[in-house]
């Protein structure tokens, strides 16, 4: 009887219709970032193997002695998957220019700038994600965002006079305490599986940076307690809220643009190369990125945007807020933020920030001064023959935008750069472990050895 009742229920049209609706309304589940990466890694391994078979013994550019003494400038020596810097076109993220990623990457509802989560997905997979995939990544990072109590205590005990970048590096180093890769390596994980815990550490690293950055900002500048992470908000919104700017829609949009365009700039810059180098020793992503942050803290790298803003404010105080072009021309000082080691045109990251300013703050006095300099300085530098590349780079603009929205603490700016650059370094660390990148060990020479090599050569 029970069996007959069950059979009757299965044949009931109402139940059959409900089941059909349920099946029709269930969309196929999209892969997570880690699942998609697991599908891509075997293909990439074969591509690398084929490239080495086909090109492995080919010469790839001569090495000049001047390159050894000149900081290896322009020396082809690294593999970096996420981005390539073209001297004429600027940075390309997985082949895409900044205008292309601004157009193609998902945006927050009501927003106009790309979400950095989408840029990270692109760096890792080479693919443009859907908004749904990006939203899930935002939630994943929000769920991972809490930092251990002992790291909070470390930061709270730092004197406010300790530079924010020193505090940042210290906190990231301490996260190594819970490294999934370090634990897996100690347990004897297969080399082919290194990428898995490296991915997990990289996700944790990126997710925890806003809480670290926010705690440093509030401790150093007396901004009170941190609000909680909102799991319904995107990464940039949460970072903005932790800094005290979550209610400022313009600042949130700026952070989305800022993190995206600062995230990666191929592998030869100091922070990127340092992260890759330290990672090649199988140091986990926390140790690797802490080392990268120490490089980023240098005045020739991440501190440059701070130096530009100092120069701009001194100039503004000297010649006035509404100075003429002639007054700008007569202000004879070394101009920071102009020129680049590789680029031979205006940095597309500068252009993106300029377009943002024209949209959101066209009448701001400091922005107008930045614009005057942009129109005047390249011609002066070209005429004087003092620069092969007299065009502005990314540092020439970012400080003016942050100042407009009220983030005026210049010593802190490099921390925001550090949050951003983690995206590119982490993506490369994942791929280095997936592709079995070896320990880096270039050959060095002494000056005496160089002299001996060329002693009897013309």
Name the residue ranges covered by the structural domains of the chain: 124-300+422-434, 304-404
Half-sphere exposure of 401 (CA within 13 A, CB side): 28
Residue 332 has pLDDT above 60, yes or no: yes
Task: Confirm or reject CATH 1.10.580.10 for domain 124-300+422-434, answering yes or no.
Answer: yes
Extract the tokens encoding 290.
Answer: 């802490």
**Per-residue confidence (pLDDT) for residue 17, from 0 to 100:** 38
What are the start-end ranges of the E strands in 232-343? none
Whole-angstrom Cα distance, residue 293 to residue 169? 6
Q: Are 74 and 82 in contact (CB under 8 A)?
A: no
Using CA of residue 365, residue 100, residue 269, residue 70, what is the dihedral sign?
Answer: negative
Residue 8 has pLDDT above 50, yes or no: no
**Per-residue confidence (pLDDT) for residue 354, from 0 to 100:** 93
Alpha-helical runs (H) found in 56-174: 65-69, 98-104, 116-125, 131-144, 149-157, 164-174
The whole-chain average pLDDT of the chain stands at 88
Residues with a known catalytic role: 301, 340, 395
Average pLDDT over residues 202-221: 97
Reported pTM = 0.88
Whole-angstrom Cα distance, residue 426 to residue 403? 29
**Per-residue confidence (pLDDT) for residue 202, from 0 to 100:** 98
Residue 425 has pLDDT above 50, yes or no: yes
Residue 1 has pLDDT above 60, yes or no: no
Residue 410 has pLDDT above 70, yes or no: yes
- CATH of region 304-404, choose from 3.40.47.10, 3.40.50.1220, 3.40.50.2300, 1.10.230.10: 1.10.230.10
């Amino acid at each position: 009887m029970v069996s007959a009742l069950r059979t009757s229920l299965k044949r009931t049209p109402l139940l059959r219709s409900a089941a059909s609706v349920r099946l029709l309304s269930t969309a196929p589940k999209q892969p997570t970032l880690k699942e998609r990466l697991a599908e891509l890694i075997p293909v990439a391994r074969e591509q690398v193997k084929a490239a080495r078979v086909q090109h492995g013994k080919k010469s790839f550019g001569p090495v000049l002695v001047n390159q050894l003494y000149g900081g290896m400038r322009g020396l082809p020596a690294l593999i970096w998957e996420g981005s390539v810097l073209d001297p004429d076109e600027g940075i390309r993220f997985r082949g895409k220019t900044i205008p292309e990623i601004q157009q193609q990457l998902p945006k927050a509802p009501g927003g106009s700038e790309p979400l950095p989560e989408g840029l990270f997905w692109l760096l890792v997979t080479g693919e443009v994600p859907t908004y749904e995939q990006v939203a899930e990544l935002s939630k994943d990072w929000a769920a991972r965002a809490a930092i251990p109590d002992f790291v909070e205590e470390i930061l709270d005990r730092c004197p406010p006079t300790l530079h924010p970048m020193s505090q940042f590096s210290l906190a990231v180093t301490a996260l190594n305490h819970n490294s999934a890769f370090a634990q897996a390596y100690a347990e004897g994980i297969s080399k082919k599986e290194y990428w898995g815990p490296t991915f997990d550490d990289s996700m944790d690293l990126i997710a925890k940076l806003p809480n670290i950055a926010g705690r440093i900002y509030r401790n150093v500048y007396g901004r009170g307690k941190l609000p909680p992470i909102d799991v319904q908000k995107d990464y940039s919104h949460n970072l903005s809220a932790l800094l005290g700017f979550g209610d400022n829609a313009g600042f949130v949009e700026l952070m989305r643009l800022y993190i995206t365009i600062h995230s990666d700039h191929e592998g030869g810059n100091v922070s990127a190369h340092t992260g890759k180098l330290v990672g090649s020793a199988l140091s986990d992503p926390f140790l690797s990125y802490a080392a990268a942050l120490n490089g980023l803290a240098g005045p020739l790298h991440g501190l440059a945007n701070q130096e530009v803003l100092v120069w701009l404010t001194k100039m503004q105080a000297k010649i006035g807020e509404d100075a003429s072009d002639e007054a700008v021309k007569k202000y004879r000082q070394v101009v920071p933020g102009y020129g680049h080691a590789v680029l031979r045109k205006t940095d597309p990251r500068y252009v993106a920030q300029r377009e943002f300013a024209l949209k959101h703050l066209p009448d701001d006095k400091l922005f107008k001064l930045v614009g005057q300099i942009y129109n005047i300085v390249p011609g002066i530098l070209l005429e004087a023959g003092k620069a092969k590349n007299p065009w502005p780079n990314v540092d020439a603009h970012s400080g003016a935008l942050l100042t407009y929205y009220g983030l005026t603490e210049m010593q802190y700016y490099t921390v925001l750069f550090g949050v951003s650059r983690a995206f590119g370094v982490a993506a490369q660390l994942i791929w280095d472990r997936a592709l079995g990148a070896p320990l880096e060990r270039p050959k060095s020479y002494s000056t005496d050895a160089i002299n001996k090599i060329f002693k009897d050569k013309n």
